[in-house]
Amino acid sequence: MWLKFGVNADNNLVTIEDVPSGKTDLTCIYCGGFLTAKKGKIKAHHFAHTEETCYPVANRSFPTLPLYDNFNIRLSGKELQQLKQLWREYGNTDYSIPTVPFRLVLRKLFVMNSQQDGYDFTSLGKIPVGALPLAEFNQVQEPLLLEELGKLRGAAERAQILNSSSLEQRLADFQLYRAQLRRILQFQLYFLQVKTEHETLHKIGVTRRSISERVAEVERDLQKHYQHIEIQVLGTWEHRGNVELYFKHRYQAFNYPIGSLTEYFKFSAVEPIWQDLCQMKKKVLSTEELKIVQDDSI
């Protein structure tokens, strides 16, 4: 797991996406050592220690947002293939599955259907195969996001009460997770239609800037590949930064890379995708989420 946040001189966390590649003045939240931004084309962008990597970073995983950038739900390769095979055979039918591996039932990926004497996919079980609609995905993920926040807060509070040697590490874990959650809550999800001289494409993305600024940037990027470009903003959704990567997972079969640009899709019919997006309810921040968004100290 990569370190994706560093601490600046004001003691605020800064994401890897907001700094250029190379040595930085940012420091590690765990040890205070200086960090170098690694932003290559193969590995995920991340921070590395400029000198020796500290023990907490080298020997453990960092807290991450549930179901944000990994949708395999910690399944083994064999389990994932079994799940995909069952979906291919039964996912688009009205029939329950006669038998499924019991460990997948224990993982809450299937539920017993007593009327048909078989098993049905649960909402969680549909996520690895990209079959869960976006609105239902939000219903599954959102409680998990706050549940994990509560666990990390509780671990930090217990360490403080016990005056544990792990207190600083527990606090750092909580701060890192809270910063990740704050980031996706600040993002606005957008869906664009892009008409060129050759084809009609669609783009999914997130931004913290105004949508007009983002559209202008998108147009500049596309001018390297097309002469005629017409961009229409089909929709925007505040505080829905959590959806972008699941959308890409769900519709990966329609992904249409343009050079190094990877957020474009070519749909034979866009209406079902548009309806999927429109089914999402307006995101109303909870008291906890509102506090996170407004807090500049993390």
What pTM did the predictor assign? 0.91
Of 17, 83, 65, 71, residue with least CA distance to 45: 17
Helix (H, G, I), strand (E, B) or coil at 6: strand
Q: Measure Cα distances from 56 to 9, 34, 166 in Å.
A: 21, 15, 10
What pLDDT, in 10s, does the model give residues 91-112? 988 899 999 999 999 999 999 9
pLDDT over threshold 80, residue 134? yes
pLDDT of 269 higher than 80:
yes
pLDDT at 109: 97
**What is the pLDDT, as a whole number, of residue 2?**
77
| pLDDT band (50, 70, 90) for residue 39 | confident
pLDDT in tens, 172-199: 999 999 999 999 999 999 999 999 999 9
Determine the pLDDT at residue 92: 87
Contact yes or no for 62/47 (Cβ under 8 A): no
pLDDT of residue 116: 87
Structure-model confidence comparison of residues 52 and 258, the more confident one: 258
Percent of the chain's residues with pLDDT above 70: 98
41 pLDDT above the threshold of 80? no
pLDDT tens, position by position, 216-234: 999 999 999 999 999 999 9
Instruction: Please choose, from the candidates 283, 176, 298, 192, the residue with its C-alpha nearest in 3D space to the C-alpha of residue 239.
Output: 283
Of the two residues 57 and 86, the one the predictor is more confident about is: 86
CB 192 within 8 A of CB 247: no
- 3-state DSSP helix/strand/coil percent for the chain, to nearest 5? 40, 20, 40
In the chain, what is the straight-line distance between the N-terminal and C-terminal CA atoms, in Å?
21
Give backbone dihedrals phi and psi of 97, rounded to 5 degrees, phi first. Answer: -90, 125
pLDDT at 298 over 90: no
For residue 269, with 0-12 CB atoms within 10 Å meaning exposed, 13-18 middle and 19 or more buried, which class applies? exposed
Q: How far is CA 201 from the centre of its chain?
A: 23
Instruction: Indicate the burial class of 243 (C-beta count within 10 angstroms; 0-12, 13-18, 19 or more).
Output: buried
- Residue of 254, 251, 289, 288 whose CA lies nearest to 268: 254
- Take residue 64 and report the two structure tokens written for it: 């991450």
Tell me the pLDDT band of 297, cut-offs 50, 70 and 90: low
| Phi, psi of 258, rounded to the nearest 5 degrees | -120, 95
pLDDT recorded at residue 1: 65
pLDDT exceeds cutoff 90 at 260:
no
Q: What is the pLDDT of residue 296?
A: 63
pLDDT (mean) for 115-141? 96
Asked if residue 62 has pLDDT above 90, the reply is no
Return all residues near 117 (Cβ < 8 A) that are at least 6 apart: 96, 98
pLDDT in the model for residue 78: 94
153 pLDDT exceeds 60? yes
Phi-psi category of residue 28: left, alpha or beta, with phi > 0 → left and psi -120 to 50 → alpha: beta
CB atoms under 10 Å from CB of 234, counted, come to 15
Confidence of residue 165 (pLDDT cuts 50, 70, 90): very high
Instruction: Please report the pLDDT score of residue 10 as a whole number.
Output: 86
Dist CA 24 CA 37 (whole Å)? 7
Measured CA to CA in angstroms, residue 280 lies from 136, 139, 235, 276 at distances of 8, 10, 11, 7
Could you give the CA distance from residue 58 to residue 28 in angstroms, rounded to a whole number?
12
